[in-house]
Amino acid sequence: MSKYQYDLFVIGAGSGGVRAARMSAGLGAHVAIAEDRHLGGTCVNVGCVPKKLFVYASHFTEEFENAKSFGWDIARTDFDWSTLIKNKNTEIKRLNGIYKKILDNSGAETIHGRAKIVDKHTVEINDDHITAERILIATGGWPSVPDIPGKEHIISSNEAFFLKSLPEKIVIVGGGYIAVEFAGIFHGLGVETTLLYRGPLFLRGFDQDVREALADEMQKKGINIKFDSNISEIEKSNDQFIATLEDGEQIEADQIMYATGRKPMTENLGLETVGIELDSDSAIKVNDEYQTNIHSIYAIGDVTNRVNLTPVALAEGMVLAKRFFGNEDKDVDYSNIPTCVFSQPNIGTVGLTEEQAREKYDDIDIYKSYFKPMKLSLSESNEQTFMKLIVDKKSDLVVGVHMLGPDAGEIIQGIGIAIKAGATKKVFDSTIGIHPTAAEEFVTMRDPVSD
């Protein structure tokens, strides 16, 4: 009989924590999981899920407009923000319930409350001390807002999901996934939208061609993008906010939203009590087996600030559970992870950017294609889809695939399997396309562009 109350105690019921808890319980372990907010973590409550619902909602403006070119006469297209919020909340509540049911069915015990680590085998929660052979931290991240004058007037993406009314004007600050996605969301819902980014071009780390193409498309849609810009202070004037930029320009808006990054949620966990090491960004340091410097305490997901994607946290949770209780010693393969930005239009990408490929390989071929999506061919829209293949000449391996256009994420998921399997350009060329689709373009690009 174990001298501990649990084999595994998980702090944080987000994607990674829930996966680790239920898989471990399913493998026969005695597991408890603690959460002080809502089950499902960021992704379900204030991240991927509600954001995608908002993206769907914002697309209807263009859908209604494009419908005219197909003969539809749409006389009235009113939008009610409160209905969207209400229905979104209902769906999130349903998902919270599903997560609870999944945990219950697995045999894991769910405890509501803030857990703090007391020693290497003990946590304190709701005034109780609970012991466990292993403790897993999966608390995720939280929006980070800079300390500037007027900081109290800023909202983050968390608050954007619960606004009581839709603003007429909004300023969004940031250059990552969340910033460009919310710029598209608010613009699509009829809000006058300005996107500010302190650098020369957003989405740092993505392929340069894709970044430039998205900037062009967003500006064509009417989003005001100001690169090399930053806010120095924010003042409130009646019901409006005035953002003063570092160059002295002032912008007035009903809301100012910051999407300037997220920080690992490592505060108020008792980490200092046991001496768990953090890096310069306050992320928990772990080894290749997700173990901290305290042998019985582990961490996965965004709290480690490595690859901050929901599917990665899920994979880490599964690998860890099987390593602990399933007698399997596999690792997560972090190479060629497909990802999507639900910007408008979408970005889908897998593998190396052109810049990365040029550093890694002596000689590469680049294939590019720009075209108007067939769905828009009857309309006056000038939106362009962009596709790009990057091939190592020596091996003929396709080492990078990038797309900007409708359904990019859906298309790149399948391409990701091919890249993971080691598909060559010859394999792409020998694959028969599905016609007429945008996706077939990936198997019909024959001539590389010149350097």
Q: Where are the alpha helices (DSSP H) in 222-342?
A: 271-274, 310-325
- Element housing 94 (H / E): helix 81-106
d(CA 156, CA 141): 13
Asked whether 235 and 242 are in contact (CB, 8 A), the reply is yes
For residue 117, which phi and psi values (nearest 5 degrees)?
A: -80, 130
- Provide the phi-psi class of 290: left if phi over 0, else alpha when psi is between -120 and 50, else beta: left
Report in angstroms the alpha-carbon separations of 148 from 193, 231, 246: 22, 8, 12
- E strands, 72-228, in order: 109-112, 116-119, 122-125, 128-137, 141-143, 169-173, 192-196, 224-226
Angle at 336 between CA 331 and CA 337, to 5 degrees: 75
d(CA 102, CA 92): 15
Single-letter code of the amino acid located at 347: I
- Element housing 359 (H / E): helix 354-360
**Residues that are catalytic:** 435
d(CA 96, CA 178): 22
- Element housing 387 (H / E): strand 385-392
d(CA 188, CA 128): 49
